[in-house]
Amino acid sequence: MRVTLAELAERFGCVLHGPPERTVSTVGTLTGAGPDAVAFFANPAYAQALSETRAGAVILDERAREQCPVPCLVTPNPYATYARVAALLHPAPPPAPGVHPSAVVAPDAKVAPSAEIGPHAVVGPRSEIGDGVVIGPGCTIGADVKIGAHTRLVARVVVLDRVRVGSRCLFQPGAVIGGDGFGFAEDFAHGGWVKVPQLGTVVIGDDVEVGANTTIDRGAIEDTVIEDGVKLDNLVMIAHNVRVGAHTVMAAMTGVAGSTRIGKRCMIGGSVGITGHISICDDVAIQGKSFVAQSIDKPGLYGGGALPADEAARWRRNAARFRQLDELAKRVRALEKSAKEKPESER
């Protein structure tokens, strides 16, 4: 797709500095883009690359405009504008309406005429597939599932019985939605662990993205809920009865234990562990590798991950000192107590 800079400026609310008739057809980096590409600048660390770029145009904010040697599109949020421009220039392929001959669709399933059911996909009884939905190769849709308009399951996605999915969602390969939650009752007197039936389901809002091999478990009795606009990276695990608030994002390898409530607009870094039965309020950011063991009721930035990598000998010394902290704290308290008990003249 080829568009003029004037068209981009008008569509995305930018101020154009440069020839409006110039056209571009792709996107690129500051260092790799040629005259046919749009790049973006949002990090001062790349100031040198900006000054040397050969891009057809650069998306940036007003503060960086004077540093740009090529035409530029000025906007308060360059990265978000770049994302929209990239989506315009490189749109997802449209659905190819119809059911592939190798797919298996239950006779009582409802598939919109504009939906695409790919090779070796399965759509279970009484399920409803909305307008413009793409069910990619090897996907499995269980019974009584509802998938909203223009949602795309890329490949090998599993959506199990009674799950509800909103519109314009995107599920990357290998995602599993609605598997059983990890629920077992202890009864060693009669053979060990007794499986607790997982009777709820998963309800997913609109504009949700779920990464590759991410799992969202169905609720034990009530439902697991993923609200509108949530973005989950690859290899995220959401346990049963969790609720994730609207527009929250989670990076890869984060795990959320059962019955936890996470607020809106939270940002959770990679490999974060969140224990069960707690609440995290709106607008919380959690740094990668942190472990959240208690509720958070105040917005802000939280961290507590493993110590960063260091020279091995120094890391071992610091680790040894960490194990001595409890004894050191006892000694400090004893010294403080002794100091308070001394007469004023001896202090």
- Of the candidates 259, 267, 184, which has an alpha carbon nearest to the alpha carbon of residue 230? 267
**What are the residues whose beta carbons fall under 8 Å from the beta carbon of 264, sequence distance 6 or more?**
227, 245, 246, 247, 248, 282, 283
Distances (CA, A) of 172 to 110, 125, 156, 265: 23, 24, 9, 22
Distances (CA, A) of 289 to 114, 132, 206, 244, 318: 43, 39, 29, 19, 19
Q: Which helix (H) or strand (E) holds 159?
A: strand 158-159
Read off φ and ψ for residue 313, nearest 5 degrees.
-65, -40
Rg (CA), the chain: 27
The one catalytic residue among 90, 150, 190, 240: 240
User: Is 17 one of the annotated active-site residues of the chain?
Assistant: no
**Cα–Cα distance between 133 and 117 in angstroms, integer?**
8
State which H helix or E strand residue 85 sits in. Answer: helix 78-89
Chain center to CA of 168: 15
Q: What string of DSSP letters covers 160-177? A: -TT-EE-SS-EE-TT-EE
Q: Is there a contact between 314 and 307 (Cβ–Cβ < 8 Å)?
A: no
Query: Residue 6: enclosing H or E segment and its boundaries?
Result: helix 5-12
Residues involved in catalysis: 240
